[in-house]
Amino acid sequence: MACNACILAISFLTLPFFIALAADQSPIQDFCVADTGSTVLLNGLTCKDPKHVVADDFSFGGLHLAANTSNALGCHVTPVTPSEMPGLNTLGISIIRIDYAPRGINPLHTHPRASEILIVWEGSLEVGFITSYPENRHIGKVLQKGDVFVFPIGLVHYQRNPGPTNAVAIAALSSQNPGVIMVANAVFGSTPNISSDILEKSFQINKNVIGYLQTKF
């Protein structure tokens, strides 16, 4: 009992430390503009010679442009990461524009390396995330133009445009490389696929349903 309490106390004390480690590391120089031509592999991207850095390395144009949302989901994400804006390298942040057709959705997904703070730029959005097991609490609401919402790091979340008009959101993420795990694609569309025995028991549904879902992703 005493030992359990002790382990529990230690886990809580060390938790913020581990959470801090989950975000990108702090830079140890003013900037490290990505050298997009480099083939060196490391945790991030190699730096361009600071003497050759220009203002355009720290800038990106075009987030005012609407994207094409004619796809099955009715949604398109335009990312601005170090690939689009080399000056973001090592700074631990990135930004995206999300376009939604009427009834379009950004389906259930998580970012393993970032929290996401989103502002509705046009239209309205129904948003939500689900807390960890075993609570699985669904926290969501409908946002109007100008409203801001935050999706905590690692949690499964979604956005949906309920309105009859297009919607647009701008979201900032606390990593230069947040990563995206699409729940349906990861579970039913992996390569090679997950055995249907595993999926059948995991989801407590019939093999035929699993087979059908696997054809969809």
Enumerate binding residues for ligand NAG (CB under 6 A).
68, 70, 192-193, 211, 214-215
Residue 157 assigned as binding residue: yes
Minimum CB distance to ligand NAG, residue 161 (Å): 17
The C-alpha atoms of residue 16 and residue 32 are separated, in whole angstroms, by 27
Residue 135 assigned as binding residue: no
> For residues 164 and 192, which CB has a smaller minimum distance to ligand NAG in the complex?
192
The C-alpha atoms of residue 125 and residue 158 are separated, in whole angstroms, by 10
Residue 64 assigned as binding residue: no
> For residues 83 and 193, which CB has a smaller minimum distance to ligand NAG in the complex?
193
Residue 111 assigned as binding residue: yes
Cα–Cα distance list, 49 to 35, 40, 42, 101 (Å)? 8, 15, 17, 42
> For residues 46 and 214, which CB has a smaller minimum distance to ligand NAG in the complex?
214
Q: Which amino acid is at 129?
A: F
Minimum CB distance to ligand NAG, residue 196 (Å): 7
> For residues 59 and 215, which CB has a smaller minimum distance to ligand NAG in the complex?
215
SS (H, E, C) 64-79: CCCCCCCCCCCEEEEE
Q: Do strands 156-160 and 138-143 pair parallel, antiparallel, or not at all (unpaired)? A: unpaired
> From the annotation, which residues make up the binding site?
106, 109, 111, 116, 157
